[in-house]
Amino acid sequence: MSLRVVRRKGTKTLYIRGTVRGVRCYEAAGTESRALAEAYKAKRETQLFEGALIGRRVAVSFGEAALSYLEFEPRSERTEYDVHWSARTRRRRPSGARSMRRWRRS
């Protein structure tokens, strides 16, 4: 069964309902326009189909990725320090700051 656009009684909001490769879907389209709801339905159907074929994307935290990077092959002490520092603070400098030194002073 594929997805379809439906309207519940007493509401103006359209909903997307159906199954794609065994994955059930029932969610609000967030619009009253049938054309926008159909576009959202097509996008969501593609996402569910790809998710069923490929599998869901695995979310990895920055800290886990940094640790994996260090364990993959030997790194210099400076690289290990930088990776540990950035994984610990997880801060980014503002786009206007040219260097970390200037950013820390402000």
Please report the pLDDT score of residue 90 as a whole number: 57
For residues 70 and 62, give the distance between their C-alpha atoms in angstroms, rounded to a whole number. Answer: 12
**33 Cβ contact list (under 8 Å, min separation 6):** 14
- Given a cut of 80, whether residue 105 has pLDDT beyond it is no
Is 62 in a helix, a strand, or coil?
A: helix
Tokens of 92: 């980014």
For residue range 53-77, list pLDDT tens digits in order.
777 666 777 777 877 887 888 888 8
Query: Locate tokens 């065994």: which residue?
Result: 22
- Cut 0.85: pTM above it: no
Is 33 found in the same domain as 67?
no
Is 73 found in the same domain as 50?
no
Please report the pLDDT score of residue 57 as a whole number: 67
Percentage with pLDDT > 70 across the chain: 76
Is 44 found in the same domain as 11?
yes
Please report the pLDDT score of residue 28 as a whole number: 92
Element (H or E) spanning 29, and its range? none
Give the domain extent around 76. 58-91
Q: Has residue 26 been placed in a domain?
A: yes
Is 14 found in the same domain as 41?
yes
For residues 21 and 12, give the distance between their C-alpha atoms in angstroms, rounded to a whole number. Answer: 29
Q: Has residue 103 been placed in a domain?
A: no
For residue range 78-94, list pLDDT tens digits in order.
887 877 777 666 555 55
As for how many domains the chain has, the answer is: 2
